[in-house]
A and B are shown apart, each in its own frame.
Chain A
Amino acid sequence: MSKQVFNKTNIFIAFQYLSARMKQSFLAMIGVMLGVTTFIVMINFMTGVNDFLDDAVFNGSPDIIINASAKKELENISRRTTNLLLDVTKIDNILKGDKNVQSYAHQIISPAILISDAKQFPGSINGVFPAQERNMVDLERRLIKGEGFKSLLEENSILLGVSLAKRLQVEVGDQIEMILPNGKNAALRVAGIFSFGITTIDNVRTYVSAAKLQNLLDQKNGITNVHIKLKDRDDVSLKSYLTENIDGIETEDWKDSNKTIVIGNKVRDILTWSVSLALLLVAGFGIYNILNSTVIQKRKDIAVLKTIGYSSNDVVFIFLVQSIIIGVLGAVFGGLFGYIISYLISTTPLDTSDFIIVDTYPINFKMSYYFLGLSFGILTTVFAGYFPSKKASQVDPVTIIRGI
């Protein structure tokens, strides 16, 4: 007829012991708090950076790019003055049949010199089909001024990357001139200015309508690139399938194009987890230490509790509750401070580097990280508290009472 160990009396005794060692309990709680705070700040910040880069780089560029290969170039040496074109009918057939393809778009890409009243700079001219490209790049979200792809229905429109526009000193509505490698030129109106947040893109990329560029290059229906967006980005088997089945193409997937960023994300992940877990471990040892020394000091008390009718399970519970209270308080305060510090970081202005364009430090306030940090903190303390509690329950009252 052993009664439930979870009862008011046992909790009362646990609290009594905790408050009798207020200072130690408080320090143990601070330990857990620091662990959880660090975990949350680090993971918020690191995943914030990861997400920002993912969003800017991966969503600004396709998952797989197909273009004509150099082999074909050698065979068709006579066509070198013009662009290398793709035979898109075969490619389209494969893409239409592949379940992992979310959308794809044809492009004709050419370098060109852009000339404004003030300056001239080289740019990469992407001739796009607005209806297709809309599914590939969410340009509306990245627009700073003017209009997005729909403005390209107007043949003489051009969309510029923000850094390029700045260099050319043009605004939406201004006229610029474009000179293509074959000598042809055209006057275009700046219809929109966009920013991907990555200088290497914003410095050179421009969009015009594919038809316009095809005309200027005398390549009616000519396509140089096919861009593919995948449903599952990690499955890039389509890439090798394409190279094996179609001659004369080169393919590149997002991992090839962004190796440094992929590795950077991985390194940040490893760093976050290892540092946070190490801190929680240290906090756990703190609790273990405190409870352990309490158990040693209180062996006499435990013996008395046992003689007056408290069972081993009661004693485990009484000591475990102490570490749970320390753990829960530490975790909750850790979560709170983690949020406050993350918030302060997220409002801190960031000096823009050449590579990234962003106003403040990117922070990811995902709820699940708080949940994770709190449960980790509590779990560590419960685990750290269990062994001393078990030890306490094994105190033999006869040995203690006889020994004194």
Chain B
Amino acid sequence: MILEAQHIDKYFFQPQKHQVLKDVSLIIEEGELVSIYGESGSGKSTLLYVLSTLDTNFEGDLKIKDKDITLITSPELSDFRNKHIGFVYQFHHLLPDFNVLQNVMLPAMKLSQISKEEIKEEALSLLNEVGMKAFATRSSYKLSGGQQQRVAIARALINNPSLIVADEPTGNLDQKNSEVIFELLKEITERRNKSVVIATHNSKIYQSSHRSIEMIDGVLRL
């Protein structure tokens, strides 16, 4: 078991008090690819931010790798996220002032468990796996959307995290690219036996996930 969420409630207070997540409980096993689908505003992105430790303002229990997230202080949480969680966003979010290779290296440089040379090797091998090795020294903002998402997948994997969190990873891509990127994500994480949570609109994605859960008005329909 990688992740265990119990009875999670979350409220928004702007513009008025509104319960976004209602008694959400979810368990994700090792190597499992889970997708959460639902309409815009159903709360699936919000749930993703909670599960990925970015949003700590909630009620309930959350354990990742048997660690109780609600008890960890902010700087330690940064380190935890760095080591155990990889992110892929809807809008690629590569850093434009860094080149492709540097973007992939940044999380590992923060972790700094291995030398910079080793990090570079690891990053290049990941870029190779996502088919972007030839672009390693390019500026990241010059790439197409699909290319950027490939780089983002490599970045999410560099620290060998337990959990990959993807928020609408194909939301910004055309149908063909969407499929390619999703297949890549699925294949690369299956090969490494990683757990993945995806929030998505895309029916192709939730149909080919190991498990897919619908979210309606803040409630998970298991």
Contact = CB atoms under 8 A, between A and B. Distances in A.
B215 to A, nearest CB: 16
A350 B159 CA distance: 70
23 contacts: A1-B76, A1-B79, A2-B75, A2-B78, A2-B79, A3-B79, A7-B112, A9-B110, A9-B112, A16-B97, A16-B102, A300-B93, A304-B94, A305-B95, A306-B78, A307-B81, A308-B87, A308-B110, A310-B78, A310-B82, A312-B75, A397-B54, A398-B49
Interface of B: 45, 49, 52, 54-55, 74-76, 78-79, 81-83, 87, 89-91, 93-98, 102, 106-107, 109-112, 116, 155, 159, 167
A304 B75 contact: no
Contacts of B89: 401
Contact of A310 (B90, B93, B102, B110): B110
B97 A17 contact: yes
Contact of A311 (B52, B78, B97, B155): B78
A247 interface: no
Given A9-B110, A306-B54, A314-B110, 9 more contacts: A16-B97, A301-B96, A304-B94, A309-B83, A309-B107, A309-B110, A314-B78, A398-B49, A402-B45
A44 B138 CA distance: 51
A404 interface: yes
Contacts of A304: 93-95
A20 interface: yes
A273 interface: no
Interface in A281-314: 300-301, 303-314
A371 interface: no
A26 interface: no
A20 to B, nearest CB: 4
A311 B80 CA distance: 10
A141 B135 CA distance: 75
Contact of B111 (A8, A309, A404): A309
Residue of B45, B75, B107, B112 ringed by the most chain A CB atoms within 10 A:
B75
B193 to A, nearest CB: 22
Given A7-B112, A16-B97, A311 B87 contact: no
B10 to A, nearest CB: 11
Interface in A170-197: none
B57 to A, nearest CB: 9
Nearest to B97: A20
A12 interface: yes
Contacts of A300: 93
A12 B91 CA distance: 25
Contact of B167 (A3, A314, A401): A401
Contact of B78 (A13, A16, A303, A309): A309
Contacts of B96: 301
Given A3-B79, A301-B97, A308 B74 contact: no
